[in-house]
Amino acid sequence: MTQDTQLSQRLIEEETKAYKYAMGRKEQLEKMRVNSEFMKDWWAHGLEEHAKNMNIRRENELHELKFKVQREQKRRELHDMRLEESINDVNLNIEMFEKELVLRQFKPEEASKNVSQESVYERSSRLRKVLNDEINMMQRSEDTRREEE
């Protein structure tokens, strides 16, 4: 081989090497561009999904809060109804007792033989006090239970 051939072959090898390098560089740049576009799309999609998920979460929390409020309102209404029923029952029993005394023509003079007027009054006032204490205790226990929730 002559020197010219060796030189031309060497030149061809260097040009081939430079071409391969340039093509590899172009391929790498193209890969980077594609990856960059993919990452932008991926981030945009992720942000959209995150926004959707946060809206769903807010709606679920709002629904749960409404449910809790409704449940608490129903519980309070039931408690108030029971309390009112108890109070009415106590008042009714007191009224019935007083009517019974009138129907039997209760006369304090006759009662003093067996039971003094004051002791009847004391008993009814004690009964009212006990019932009021029980009602107050029920209300306090209900209030503390509400605070614990």
Q: What is the mean pLDDT of residues 3-17?
A: 83
Predicted pLDDT at 32: 92
Residue 120: how many CB atoms within 10 A of its CB? 15
Predicted pLDDT at 142: 81
Q: At what angle do helices 3-103 and 117-148 cross, to 10 degrees?
A: 170
Question: What residues does each domain of the chain span?
Answer: 3-106
For the ranges 53-62, 68-77, 100-109, which has the lowest average pLDDT? 100-109
Predicted pLDDT at 22: 82
Predicted pLDDT at 17: 86
Q: What is the pTM of this model?
A: 0.41
DSSP codes of every residue in 27-95: HHHHHHHHHHHHHHHHHHHHHHHHHHHHHHHHHHHHHHHHHHHHHHHHHHHHHHHHHHHHHHHHHHHHH
